[in-house]
Amino acid sequence: MSLCESIESLAMAYLDDELVSEERRELETHLVACSSCREVVDRERSDLSLVRAALVPPPAPDLFKARLAKALDEEARLAQRAQRLRPLALIGRYILPGAATVAAVAAIAVFVLVRPPATSQTGAVASEVVRQQKRSLPLEVQGASTGPWLRQHFAPVEPPQFAEPGIRLEGARLTVVAGHEAAQLKYMVSIGRETFGLTAMVIEGLRGTELTGGQAIKVGERTLYVHDADGRPAVTYVDEFGMTYVFASDRLPAQQLLELVVSSDLIGRAQQAR
Amino acid sequence: MQAAREKRLEFERQALVHTDSLFGAAYRLTRNPRDAEDLVQDALLRAYRFWDSYQQDSNCKAWLLRIVTNTFINEYQRKKRSREVLDAAAAEQESTDGVLVQASASDRQSPEKVLLERSVSDDVQRALESLPDDFRTAVVLCDVQGLSYKEIADIMATPVGTVMSRLFRGRKLLATALKDFARSEGYVRETTTTKPDEKPLDFEKYRAARGREGSR
């Protein structure tokens, strides 16, 4: 194969300094003898300098650099806080900010730091939900029919929806928690490359005393409780009709679980059809 | 506490020094400064989160450029499409009531200079816009960032041959667009240009043939 046949691509590699020395020597020797190839190299050279000159970009604006530094400080602060909360924090701060509509509500929780409870006196309910979340028992209903099924077989409730994209309701099953009828709603959470389960347990007829322990977090007029069940977090919430919701996920630290729950439509939603 | 501060300082020393470079690449990839800032910030925050997984002795700039490129390809494009709908509405509004404001702002510089600068840089952006994303990315990584074919191939997860043909065709399209523009403005006289895409890249064939000859 002669050099002339490949001259365009050879010229490019030559001008980009990508030829090995032997190839370069060979080409340069050839160029002395071949005027048409020389013309191609000259033309490519002038095109290349035209393109490179046109593409010289402006530097980053100073204001942007300042904003960037601030964003990094914030990131560092949040990472540090997540680490303090739980060393098993696997994912970064992808949870927030979520959709703009919930940002305001979520902001309330951001300023409320979850402290590890001084004594772990979490009641049986939160612990049992955390235990059931870890088991993967078959679902009785899946996908879009979960809501109607729940109302037919359990109680007039709506499955909570999360503002964060990537959280999908998989389905539900009926169960019993601490002697009370309950429905376990299972969600799949996809954040980055991580995929894991999240449970929302809806429990009927629970007495206040059965939900002992946990740290109270006020969000507007509502109060949520963050529990530590043997090192796994659970967030509980009792709505105005006495229906108890317990959220648990074995992959989320307490703060992120709380932020997720706050971003759900459960908080501030009027229970339907009661 | 101490570790966090050290991480931040280390990141500043090794990664943030490349902010101008990253912004340059992002500016040519996204073709406007606002999107470029968003892209660089997203990418650097991501880099910071994964800083622990960065191999300390490897090429930090290449690592960061890979994150910028991937973020651009994966996320930025999607976000942009949804935002364009909103922007179109805003632009319509502006076109009716923003004309006077805009005109007075640009009057502050000499009109000729503004016209020249704006038209040349507009043309570069327009020419870039006409390139498929893959071609543009290859050209930006090579001609704005000065990366080698191998480094670009690693970032784009393609063979070197593919990088070369994207680069070759991308540059041809750009050069042709730039020259067309200059000609239409009377800056340069008619010159002959080769049409893009008229020849496949035969560099690898050349190397293969050479290798065979050499082994004989």
Alpha-carbon torsion A71, A72, A74, A78, what sign? positive
Question: What are the residues whose beta carbons fall under 8 Å from the beta carbon of A96, sequence distance 6 or more?
Answer: A103, A106, A110, A259, A263
Do B69 and B121 share a domain, yes or no?
no
Beta-bridge partners for A246: A201, A236
Q: Is B156 on the interface with A (CB under 8 A)?
A: no
Could A60 and B23 be called an inter-chain contact, meaning their C-beta atoms sit closer than 8 Å? yes
Contact B203 A6 (CB under 8 A): yes
Question: Are residues B125 and B31 in contact, defined by beta-carbon separation less than 8 angstroms?
Answer: yes
User: CB of A146 within 8 A of CB of A172?
Assistant: yes
The CATH code of the domain that includes B153 is: 1.10.10.10
* Interface residue A52 vs chain B (CB under 8 A): yes
Count of domains forming chain B = 2
| Distance of alpha carbon B121 from alpha carbon B128, whole angstroms | 11
Co-location of B115 and B189 in the same domain: yes
Q: B20 in contact with A at a CB cutoff of 8 Å? A: yes
What's the pLDDT score for residue B91?
Answer: 57
Q: Residue B97 domain-assigned?
A: no
Check CB contact of B41 with chain A, cutoff 8 Å: yes
∠ CA A176-A179-A182 to the nearest 5 degrees?
35
Is B60 in the same domain as B118?
A: no
Which of B24, B124, B140 minimises the CB distance to A54?
B124
Query: What is the token pair recorded at A103?
Result: 């940002």
Is B203–A56 a contact, with Cβ atoms under 8 angstroms apart?
no
Inform me whether the C-beta atom of residue B79 falls under 8 Å from chain A C-beta atoms: no
CB nearest A55 (choices: B11, B28, B41):
B28
| B113, pLDDT greater than 50 | no
User: For residues A243-267, b (16+ Cβ closer than 10 Å) or e, as one string?
Assistant: bbbbbbbebbbbbbbbbbbbbbebb
Whether residue B117 sits in one domain with residue B38: no
A68–B40 CB contact, under 8 Å: yes
Q: Based on the domain organization, do B70 and B125 belong to the same domain?
A: no
Residues B179, B112 share a domain:
yes
Distance, C-alpha A253 to centroid of its chain: 12
In this structure, which amino acid lies at residue B145? Q
Residue B117 CA to residue A178 CA, distance in Å, equals 74
Residue-level pLDDT at B195 = 46
pLDDT of residue A230: 75
- Comparing A269 with A18, which gets the higher pLDDT? A18
Q: How far away is chain B from the Cα of A250, in angstroms, using its nearest Cα?
A: 21
Let me know if domain A100-263 sits in CATH 3.30.200.100. yes
Query: What pLDDT score was predicted for residue B59?
Result: 85
Residue B95 within any structural domain of the chain: no
Q: Which of the pair, A249 or B74, is modelled with greater confidence?
A: A249
B128-134 long-range CB contacts below 8 Å, 24 or more apart?
B128/B28, B128/B31, B128/B174, B129/B31, B130/B173, B130/B177, B131/B170, B131/B173, B131/B174, B133/B73, B133/B77, B134/B166
Q: Cβ contact (<8 Å) for A57 and B144? A: yes
Using the Cβ of B179 and the Cβ atoms of chain A, whether some distance falls under 8 Å is answered with yes
CB contact under 8 A, A51 and B44: no
pLDDT at B191: 46
Structure tokens at A136: 């993967």
> Cα–Cα–Cα angle for A247, A126, A149, nearest 5°?
50
- Domain of residue B186, residue span: 108-197
pLDDT band (50, 70, 90) for residue B78: low
Residue A9: both structure tokens together: 């691509």
- Residue B92: pLDDT band with limits 50, 70, 90: low
Query: Whole-angstrom distance between the N-terminal and C-terminal Cα of chain B?
Result: 65
Digit-coded pLDDT (tens) for A176-209: 888 888 999 999 988 777 888 999 999 988 876 6
- State percent of chain A over pLDDT 70: 80
User: Among B46, B62, B81, where does a domain finish?
Assistant: B81
pLDDT, residue B198, reads 41
The CATH number assigned to the domain holding B60 equals: 1.10.1740.10
- Classify residue B47: in a domain, yes or no: yes
Q: B171 at the A interface (CB within 8 A)?
A: yes
Q: Which sequence spans correspond to the domains of chain A?
A: 3-55, 100-263
Of B81, B96, B131, the domain-final residue: B81
Q: Is the pLDDT of residue B97 over 80?
A: no
Domain co-membership, B117 together with B187: yes
B7 within some domain: yes
